[in-house]
Amino acid sequence: DTGVSQDPRHKITKRGQNVTFRCDPISEHNRLYWYRQTLGQGPEFLTYFQNEAQLEKSRLLSDRFSAERPKGSFSTLEIQRTEQGDSAMYLCASSLKRGTGSYEQYFGPGTRLTVT
């Protein structure tokens, strides 16, 4: 399977703990996006990378959130000092951006975070 993969698929943590999620995009894709989806809502944009550069962050991404894509391949999303409001599905997507063309974003299976 050469689609987008995410790890772990489920994470239960206690409030105040740090968590880290990983996303492996489709191999030739240069763009990688993180979204968050809460129950009954559509996904909301968090941040995106083009290669290793983080080019935009949503105001939803508080100082407790940090994302990296060190070699322009996989990405990690870390949440420090988790709060119950962080409970959500975290979705990663990747796409191929060339020139002015627009290419479809392909989504991974998501990491479901529960903060107790």
Nearest approach, Cβ of residue 94 and other proteins (Å): 12
32 binds other proteins (CB under 8 A): no
Query: Which is closer to other proteins, CB of 18 or CB of 51?
Result: 51
114 binds other proteins (CB under 8 A): no
1 Cβ contact partners less than 8 Å away, ≥ 6 residues apart = none
Among 17, 38, 41, 114, binds other proteins (CB under 8 A): 41
What would the DSSP string read from start to end of 28-84?
T--EEEEEEE-TTS--EEEEEEETTEEEEE-TTS-TTEEEE-TTSS-EEEEESS--G
Binding footprint of other proteins on the chain (CB under 8 A): 31, 33, 35, 40-45, 48, 55-56, 91, 93, 95, 97, 102, 104-110, 112
